[in-house]
Amino acid sequence: MSNAAAVPTASPFLAACRGEEPSRTPVWFMRQAGRSLPEYKEARAGTSMLEACSTPELVAEITMQPVRRYGVDAAIFFSDIVVPLAAIGVDVKIVPGVGPVVAEPFRTEADVKRLRNLDPCDVPYITEAIGLLVEELGDTPLIGFAGAPFTLASYLVEGGPSRDHAKTKALMKSQPEVWHGIASRLAAICGEFLRIQVEAGAKAVQLFDSWAGALSEADYRRFALPHSTAALAGVANSVPRIHFGVGTGHLLEAMTETGAEVSGVDFRIPLDQAAKRLPDKVLQGNLDPAVVLADDAPLLAETDAVLEAARSAKGHIFNLGHGVLPDTDPGKLKLVVDHVHEATTR
Ligand code: CP3
């Protein structure tokens, strides 16, 4: 027996994930890689999103850009939730300004069979890119990620982004066996995609169920939760798992039943309320991404309000309440990182 457990975790991000006391409140931002950075736009010029995601040197460069510029406490792997689907042969494109678009939507029993399992050989560029990153990142942990089965299925069933997810919900109710067939195959794909990233060196994972907030709690429990649980089980007991959705205030408790160690909270639920409801969970969030476009004084006041509200939580990882908006001034994100670090260094 060693006394390793008594040695504090050096990375503030990993310490917070584990419910230990970090040396300062860790910060990273969803969608920190890409979006608003000029160096990202330059690196990406002339390359489609999916092409970029399968070019290891480019993936490593784009993943590093926000780490260098902001001094965040974790890197998020530059990829996309539809990468594993493209890797198994689904005809999906990421249309700029729109999002993922699927040529032939998935709506029938026959379509279930179009979703085969993911094999590490399908994504050698992921393993290679993470290998490059682990070396370059040093002590800064890399977060791997996947889209949750419901969010991915919504793109597959609708054929693209959707506001009401109507075809997806209609499929769940009319043909539940087709729905569960699609979602359970997606769970296996997501679980494997996460496992591949962890095996290559990712130190934590985040499951994005961005659109789960569109479901009632009863439907979430019946149609989404079992599949998200299965996806996260692929990396249980290996790395901390963060789970996040948008507009999921009514699902906070249900979403913890997936087993994730950290609950991502969007900007609509104050963290002190979330902490009351989830006393045993480390919370991640939740500055409104739009506030980053405001003047410095209100931006810093709201940053402080998030830190204050988080004091009653079991642990806190500072983040936005959803992704960085495209018009964000990178200088403002740097201001937030420096402020959180200064205000919380112990
Ligand atoms: O910075 C990061 O977080 C790194 C990587 C990342 C991307 N997408 C890169 C990306 C992550 C974690 C995602 C997750 C993702 N992708 C989600 C879940 C998170 C969320 O925001 O809710 C979803 C729903 C998608 C699907 C998707 N891909 C959308 C909605 C879009 C935006 C389309 C647009 O142009 O507005 C994409 C494309 C995408 N994924 C971009 C980036 C940097 C923009 C593409 C570009 O720069 O050309």
> Which residues does the annotation mark as catalytic?
31, 35, 44, 80, 155
Nearest ligand 1 atom to the CA of 32 is 1
Residues with CB under 6 A from ligand 1: 30-35, 44, 49, 76, 78-81, 94, 96-100, 145, 147, 151, 208, 210, 323
Please state the pTM of the whole predicted model.
0.96
- Pinpoint the alpha helices (H) of 22-112: 38-44, 49-53, 56-70, 83-87, 109-112
List, in order, residues 6 or more apart from 227 with CB less than 8 Å away.
Answer: 148, 149, 150, 180, 183, 184, 186, 187
Q: What is the largest CA-CA distance in the chain?
A: 57
pLDDT of residue 6: 55
pLDDT at 220 over 70: yes
Quick: pLDDT tens for 257-284.
999 999 999 999 999 999 999 999 999 9
Residue 346's pLDDT band (cuts 50, 70, 90):
confident
Residue ID of nearest Cα to ligand 1 atom 37: 99
Range in 7-11, 224-228, 286-290, 325-329 the model is least confident about: 7-11
Question: Using one digit for the tens of pLDDT, what is the confidence trace for 96-139?
Answer: 999 999 999 999 999 999 999 999 999 999 999 999 999 999 99
- With the most atoms of ligand 1 within 8 angstroms of its CB, the residue from 37, 81, 322 to mutate is 81
Q: Minimal CA–CA distance to 282: which of 248, 318, 249?
A: 318
Ligand 1 pocket test: pick from 80, 95, 324 the residue with the most ligand atoms within 8 Å of its Cβ: 80
Q: Whose Cα sits closest to atom 28 in ligand 1?
A: 99
If you average pLDDT over residues 239-257, what whole number do you get? 98
- Taking the centre of ligand 1 as the mean of its atom positions, its distance from the CA of residue 53, in whole angstroms, is 11
C-alpha angle 54-48-35 in degrees, rounded to nearest 5: 95
Give the model confidence (pLDDT) of 64-87 as tens digits: 999 999 999 999 999 999 999 999
Could you tell me whether strands 99-102 and 92-95 are parallel, antiparallel, or unpaired per DSSP bridges? antiparallel
User: Sign (positive/negative) of CA torsion 293, 294, 300, 302?
Assistant: negative
Please determine, for residue 342, whether its predicted confidence score (pLDDT) is greater than 80. Answer: yes
Q: Give 167-187 pLDDT, tens digit per residue.
A: 999 999 999 999 999 999 999
- Residue 116: per-residue pLDDT: 98
Token pair for residue 233? 């089980």
Please give the helix or strand (H or E) that residue 76 lies within, else none.
strand 75-76
Identify the residue whose C-alpha is closest to ligand 1 atom 20. 210
Q: Which atom of ligand 1 is nearest to the CA of 40?
A: 47
